[in-house]
Amino acid sequence: MIFNEVNLTIAIEDIREVERRRLLGIEDPDAPTREELAAVLEEVQLNQQRESQENHYMQESQTLVLILKRLLRD
């Protein structure tokens, strides 16, 4: 599944599951909503993308430093 499909699957509340929890008396008013879970998933993905970009920039910076050191040495 692609990310958007997973996010949509999490965000959609299954009416049967809601009814089952109600009948069993296991509803938790403090539990996160499906929308909240999907929002957290999106936040995690954004953080991973940022980290990936930061790692890429760090590698580029380290490469530039090495090049500069070699140029200054020669």
What pLDDT, on the 0 to 100 scale, is given for residue 28? 84
What pLDDT, on the 0 to 100 scale, is given for residue 46? 94
pLDDT means per 10 residues in the chain (74 residues)? 88 88 87 91 94 94 94 86
Q: Provide the domain limits for residue 67.
A: 3-73
User: Does the predicted model carry a pTM greater than 0.75?
Assistant: no
Hey, what are 22's tokens?
């109600």
What pLDDT, on the 0 to 100 scale, is given for residue 14? 87
Total structural domains within the chain: 1
Instruction: Collect all residues with Cβ–Cβ distance below 8 Å to 40 and sequence separation of at least 6.
Output: 32
